[in-house]
Structure formats: structure tokens, C-alpha cells
Structure 1
Amino acid sequence: MVQKLVLIPGLNNTAETWDGVKKHLPSTIEAIAVDVPALPVISDIAAELLKELPEQFYVCGFSFGGYVALEMLAQEPERILGISLMGSLTTADSDVQKENRAKSIERAENGEYFEMTEANAPKTFHPDSLENEELLKLRKKIVEDYGAETYIPHVKAMISRQDRTQVLKDAAIPKLLIAGESDKVITAEKIKEVADQVTDAEYTTISHTGHMIPLEQPVVSAEKLASWIGKVSQ
């Protein structure tokens, strides 16, 4: 039986972020990578995506995409067969994070979006990835396709989102939390803290990657997701 897997990209990412992962998934999984609507409220984003998605599916949300996946789970839990958060958390923003995000919105509104994303590359990638010209070229294309007009509403959505830890705890479905070992944006330690709270969640790490897990380690990402779905769908 073919299982449907919805893949939700993160901030500054388009559906293309998942191309490498999709290529390495087995034929038993039908992967549906989406672009996240440029809306400033997370509940509206989730509702808009749910209109177009299959009746039931597994979902993997990367970073900001994890927040969207959790909101889908809160809205229509009966449609989610299993949820994976990749480089993502269940918690809301702290006051400091909200303040920093508000500043980034201001910079993007002032025409500094591309300057910001370029400056953040060393923080989001593993050092070895910064030597990979093809990878950086792909990232640049994705960022250009995404643009400030999508970034600004998405950051607003992150600022106002709710803590969804209890939603994940209460869901009686398979759960997989994936952390990048060298992730400086959302560290493995933070994701492990969520896994310790959500006691029925499976926790795993991927080595040799920073925050950009689907781009940096598409093969291993696909293997982790395929193994998980294969195990829990039996």
C-alpha cells in the first residue's frame, strides 16, 4: 500500500527544498511537497493547506514547517496518520525571539532580505556545506524564489503562534522528532527536551548537518522517514 507523505518546508524555503529527499524515498511513499502560503497567521496557513491535501496522510514539517504541521494536527487530527518534526520544536517564541523576529521584519521591509539570508548561511549550514558550490547555488535559487514578500508574513505567523506541546502529547499517532547534530538554530538538545516531554515520540539525529537538514542530508532524511513510515504503517 502506498502511503502519502506531506513535506512542509521551513522559513526561506520553497517546496524545492525537498527535491533531494523525494528523489530518495521508496515507491511505497507518495511524497507531496508544498509551498507554504504567504499568510501572517499560522492557523490560516494550516487551514489553507488542508483544503488541498489528501483525506489522510503522514506529515513531516521542517523548522517553520513543523509549526504548520502541528497546527494541522490541532485543527484536523483525524487526517494525520503520523507526524515528524525535523529541526523543529513545539514551543512558542520567547519574548527575546519575538523581539528579534520583529527586527528582521523591519529589515526585510527596508530591502535587506537577501543581505540577511546571506549573512545567516554560516549559522544555518554545517561548515562542510559552505564549501559545496552546488548546494549554495540551489539555496540561493530557493531564497530568491521565496522572497521578502513571503518571509514577512511567515515571520509574523511565527511570532504569534501558540505552544503546541500538549497537542503533540495528546495525539495518539506515531511521532518522529529529527535533529541535526550540528544544528545551531534549533539544537539537538532542544529537540531532545521536547522528545523527553512527549514520551511516546521517537527521537533520532542526523550527523554532518546544520539546520538545513533536507538540503544537506537528503539521502539520510529520506531513509529516516521511509524507515519510520514503514515501521508504523504495518
Structure 2
Amino acid sequence: MQNETKQNLVMIPGLNNSKKIFDGVKEHLDSSITSIAVDVPALEDVGSIADQLLKELPTEFHLFGYSFGGYVALAIIDKAPERVKSLALVSSVANADTAKMKQVRESAIQRVQAGEYEEMVRATASKGVHPDHIDRQDITEIREQMMKEYGADRYMAHLRATASRPDRAELLSTIDYPVLIVGSPNDQVVPFERQQNMVEHLQHPIVKEIEDAGHLIPLEQPEKLADILGDYISQKIVSV
């Protein structure tokens, strides 16, 4: 793959995230990459979300799913594998929710319906970042802005989509190109051990660890993430 050829990189954000979460990553991507960050429609099924996004995306593209965006990315792979040139999953997993996790989603929906959306999101903010980044004003400001852009209705829709998503672990085994997994050992939302479980299903896994971040890698370490994505797309890093 030649750097002179422009490569489309589709970037799908997570829960309570707008495409703004990728602003810092986009700034540091190589000029050979055309980044296409999307906002996820407020639909209650990852398959329906994938269908909607596929109508708007280029014919071929590299795909990067962050957290909830990883669930959508795998739905896109399931529906249109011929359009995807590579796959990067960051702070995400392929497994379906357990019964306990579904109960947690339902409890969150009930709180949102009770008018506690913003209060609940702010109360869990520190869990999403590395301890060293809890007081970072830049991250707080971006999260506040995204929360208001995202809104309670979209949050409830995506909680339902998360809880109802199918298990995609076996789908991973059908992917014949190297798949990039990026996570942090400090992630309290999606533990890195769960992310690494995808390796056993992949033909050609690539695992990269970012130490000084929590769950919000795109906000906490955008330059490091951009470098890893750029090297992956340009094939400077290969599977082992």
C-alpha cells in the first residue's frame, strides 16, 4: 500500500460520544489518510445503524470502531465485508452482553427516563480516564459538549442496541487480514483482558497497548493512537 494513495478511514465513536472525540486523532493522522468521522444515528439495533451508515460511506474504506463504535463496526463487517479494507477495534470487544450487563443497561435507561441523564454521565466521568487525567480541563470540556450534542434519547437507543447486539466472536475468525486491537491496562469500562480475548478468534491479530490512558484513548492519547492507526493502515506494523 503506497502512501501516495489516499486511504479512507471511517471512525465510529462510542456511547455518549459525538464524532468530536476524534478531532485530536485526525489532527495527527498522516496526510495520506482521509478521515471520515461519523455520528451514530439514534437507532436501537446495531444492524440498523450499520445499514444507515453504509448508505453514506465510500465504496471501500478502512474501519475504526471505538468502544460502542466497535459493535457497529463488526455489524458493518457482517453486512458488507467486501467494502472494508482493514479493521481496528479500540477499547471494544466482540462478545455479546451477559445477562448482568443487560440489567445494568436497563437500569441506566430507567435513570435516563427519570431525568438523570446528565447527572449520571458526569458521576461516572472519572471511571473513563486514567487517574492522572481526571482533572484535565480539556477532556472535561469536550465530554460536556459531546454529552449535550448526543442527548438522552440517543443514549437510550444505543444502550438498547448494545444490550441486544449479537455475539460477533465467530465473525472475527472469518477475517483474513490483520485486525488491530488497541487498549489500555487502565481501562475500567472495558478491561483490556476482555479485549485481548478476541485474539483467539482472529487469524492475524495485532495488539497494541497504550499505558497512560483509561477508556477514553482517543481523548487522552490522540497522537499515540493516530500513530498506531497510521502505521497499521500503511502496513508498517504486521501481525505476529
1:62 aligns with 2:66: yes
Which residue in 2 is equivalent to 1:163?
Answer: 167
Amino acid across the alignment from 2:36: I
Which residue in 2 is equivalent to 1:4?
Answer: 8
In structure 2, distance between residues paired with 1:141 and 1:69: 24
Amino acid across the alignment from 1:61: G
Amino acid across the alignment from 1:90: A
Match of 1:40 among 44, 47, 61: 44
TM-score when scaled to structure 1?
0.97
Please, which moves more after superposition, 199-208 or 99-108? Answer: 199-208
Deviation at 1:197, TM superposition (A): 3.0
Unpaired runs of at least 5, structure 2 = none
In structure 2, distance between residues paired with 1:122 and 1:20: 20
Query: Is the 2:196–2:207 Cα contact (8 Å) retained in structure 1?
Result: yes
1:194 aligns with 2:198: yes
Structure with more helix by fraction: 1
For residues 65-104 of structure 1, what are the structure 2 equivalents within 5 Å? 65-104=69-108
Unpaired runs of at least 5, structure 1 = none
In structure 2, distance between residues paired with 1:202 and 1:130: 29
Which residue in 2 is equivalent to 1:226?
Answer: 230
SS in structure 1 opposite 2:87?
Answer: strand
Query: Is the 2:175–2:203 Cα contact (8 Å) retained in structure 1?
Result: no
Query: Is the 1:81–1:174 Cα contact (8 Å) retained in structure 2?
Result: no
- Structure 1 runs of 4+ aligned residues shifted over 3 Å read none
SS in structure 1 opposite 2:124?
Answer: helix
Number of residue equivalences = 234
What is the percent sequence identity of the aligned residues? 40
Amino acid across the alignment from 1:217: Q
TM-score when scaled to structure 2?
0.95
In structure 1, distance between residues paired with 2:219 and 2:115: 26
In structure 2, distance between residues paired with 1:137 and 1:232: 34
SS in structure 1 opposite 2:126?
Answer: helix
Amino acid across the alignment from 1:113: Y
Deviation at 1:232, TM superposition (A): 6.8
Amino acid across the alignment from 1:67: Y
1:146 aligns with 2:150: yes
Amino acid across the alignment from 1:114: E
Post-superposition Cα deviations, 1:2-32, rounded to whole Å, max 9, x if no partner, equal 1110000000000000000000001110000
Post-superposition Cα deviations, 1:124-164, rounded to whole Å, max 9, x if no partner, equal 11111112112211111111111101100000001110011
Match of 1:113 among 110, 113, 117: 117
Deviation at 1:199, TM superposition (A): 4.1
In structure 1, distance between residues paired with 2:226 and 2:146: 20
